[in-house]
């Protein structure tokens, strides 16, 4: 690859851009993972993550990807042959379903058109029909990274409570944690699955489970064989700040710094920033005359936007042109929507000007690739950002008052 001027724009919805502060933290010398300095670090990280997950439960950090954390959630709470309810919201929900099948769970996989999220009414109907309480878990993806649809987890929980069903609620928050509001305890989520390389702004390499008391109780009788992913060994070692095997020490330095950054900004402001960038992006897409994949405004994702291409135009050809000409990576269409959509990641270490640059790259690409569209998407996004900044007092009046 020839050298390209300026920084690469990594606007896929994960891995995301790693802030310089986190990169510097990771660059520190590796320490003894059985020494006192490490124990201090790991206890601070585990406490900090509870704030991010909004839970008083236990948090477990595995060296691994998000897929490993999916497996850990299933094998620690369930037994072979157990019935599980899942929803086809997109590619990631399908992959988690495939894993559950391979492990030997009996999954009721409710079909979907990849343009909406988990329907809380459907959860209610399925659970109400299950009078014998055969369904042991409802496993859903909070933010479907393949479609840009965010399911309403609070409403899914409310549906479960309305029918008084005791199933565990397992939620994948891989592309929502630290970007879109997620309330583990308030929504009585039993296992939250996440990982390092999306909203947490780290490189790939850490898989996370946050675990409720009810999930810990289920763990006692869960019949799956497990070793590397076993919670009990991890929790026993974590009590003193240690791990049953070598942790990803330098990624934990990075995680410590990332948590500091998120808490300095304030979680609610982090969410508001993502909401603003999601809305600005959708305004750009509409101004271009293109269509959003997500059809339900109550389920728009604030961490990424999936855009449908006009018929006869290939999303990957557009992405390739934008990469080559403008040094920006956009997300490819996954699974069923391959070639038909491209995805704009606007999560993690990202601000108004990174958004303006990203959308400019898309608008330039659309023009050069000959994709039918109207100009003015960037302008529409900037107009919205201006409006929000004015309302927040970022305009003339506050400057003169200062
Ligand atoms: C990225 C992603 C995954 C997969 O995580 P890996 O780290 O690639 O294993 C799973 N679920 C969602 C929603 C994701 O965005």
Does ligand 1 come within 6 angstroms of the Cβ of 175? yes
Helices (H), 327-376: 352-368
Q: Which of 245, 231, 248, 192 is nearest to 66 (CA)?
A: 192
Ligand 1 center to 67 CA (angstroms): 6
Domains of the chain and any CATH numbers: 9-16+267-395 (3.90.1150.10), 20-264 (3.40.640.10)
Q: Which of 203, 209, 254 is nearest to 232 (CA)?
A: 209
| pLDDT of residue 206 exceeding 60 | yes
Check the CA dihedral 217-223-227-228 and report its sign. negative
Atom 14 of ligand 1: nearest residue by CA position: 174
Please give the average per-residue pLDDT across 108-133, as a whole number. 98
Ligand 1 center to 348 CA (angstroms): 15
Q: Which of 178, 242, 163, 240 is nearest to 210 (CA)?
A: 178
Residue 5's pLDDT is 87
Give 1's pLDDT tier (boundaries 50, 70, 90).
low
CA distance 166 to 161: 8
Ligand 1 center to 389 CA (angstroms): 33
Residue 402's pLDDT is 40
Does ligand 1 come within 6 angstroms of the Cβ of 146? no
Does ligand 1 come within 6 angstroms of the Cβ of 332? no
Tell me the per-residue pLDDT of 379-392, one tens digit each, with 9 for 90 and over. Answer: 999 999 999 999 99
* Threshold 0.85, pTM exceeds: yes
Tell me the per-residue pLDDT of 340-356, one tens digit each, with 9 for 90 and over. Answer: 999 999 999 999 999 99
Q: Which of 319, 384, 304, 396 is nearest to 352 (CA)?
A: 384
Please give the average per-residue pLDDT across 307-324, as a whole number. 98
Please give the average per-residue pLDDT across 32-54, as a whole number. 98
Mean pLDDT score across all residues of the chain: 97
Give 399's pLDDT tier (boundaries 50, 70, 90).
very low
Tell me the per-residue pLDDT of 56-111, one tens digit each, with 9 for 90 and over. Answer: 999 999 999 999 999 999 999 999 999 999 999 999 999 999 999 999 999 999 99
The dihedrals phi and psi of 183, each to the nearest 5 degrees, come to -125, 90
Q: What is the largest CA-CA distance in the chain?
A: 67
Tell me the per-residue pLDDT of 208-224, one tens digit each, with 9 for 90 and over. Answer: 999 999 999 999 999 99
Ligand 1 center to 66 CA (angstroms): 5
Q: What is the DSSP string of 234-248?
A: HHHHHTTT--SS---
Does ligand 1 come within 6 angstroms of the Cβ of 195? yes
């Amino acid at each position: 690859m020839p050298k390209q001027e300026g920084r690469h724009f990594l606007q896929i919805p994960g891995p995301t851009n790693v802030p310089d502060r986190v990169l510097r933290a990771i660059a520190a010398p590796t320490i003894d993972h059985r020494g006192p300095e490490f124990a201090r670090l790991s206890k601070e990280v585990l406490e900090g993550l509870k704030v991010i997950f909004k839970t008083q439960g236990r948090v477990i950090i595995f060296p691994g990807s998000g897929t490993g954390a999916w497996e850990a959630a299933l094998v620690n709470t369930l037994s072979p042959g157990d019935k599980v309810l899942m929803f086809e919201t997109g590619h990631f929900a399908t992959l988690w379903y495939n894993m559950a099948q391979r492990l030997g769970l009996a999954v009721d996989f409710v079909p979907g058109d990849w343009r909406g999220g988990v329907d809380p009414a459907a959860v209610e109907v399925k659970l109400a029909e299950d009078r014998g309480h055969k369904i042991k878990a409802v496993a859903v993806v909070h933010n479907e990274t393949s479609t840009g649809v965010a399911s309403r987890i609070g409403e899914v929980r409310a549906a479960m409570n309305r029918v008084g069903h005791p199933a565990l609620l397992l939620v994948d928050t891989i592309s929502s944690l630290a970007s879109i509001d997620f309330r583990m305890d308030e929504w009585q989520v039993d296992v939250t699955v996440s990982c390092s390389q999306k909203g947490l702004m780290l490189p790939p390499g850490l898989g996370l489970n946050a675990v409720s008391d009810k999930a810990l109780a289920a763990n006692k009788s869960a019949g799956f064989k497990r070793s590397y992913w076993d919670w009990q060994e991890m929790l026993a070692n974590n009590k003193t700040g240690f791990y049953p095997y070598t942790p990803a020490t330098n990624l934990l330095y990075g995680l410590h710094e990332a948590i500091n950054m998120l808490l300095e900004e304030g979680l609610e402001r982090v969410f508001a920033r993502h909401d603003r960038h999601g809305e600005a992006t959708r305004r750009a897409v509409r101004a271009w005359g293109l269509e959003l994949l997500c059809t339900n405004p109550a389920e728009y994702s604030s961490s990424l936007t999936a855009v449908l291409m006009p018929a006869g135009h290939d999303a990957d050809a557009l992405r390739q042109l934008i990469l080559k000409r403008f040094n920006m990576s956009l997300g490819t269409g996954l699974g069923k929507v391959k070639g038909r959509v491209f995805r704009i990641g606007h999560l993690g270490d990202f601000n108004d000007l990174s958004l303006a640059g990203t959308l400019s790259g898309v608008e330039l690409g659309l023009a050069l690739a000959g994709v039918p569209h109207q100009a003015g998407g960037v302008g529409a996004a900037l107009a919205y950002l201006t409006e929000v900044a004015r309302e927040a007092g970022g305009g003339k009046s506050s400057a003169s008052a200062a």
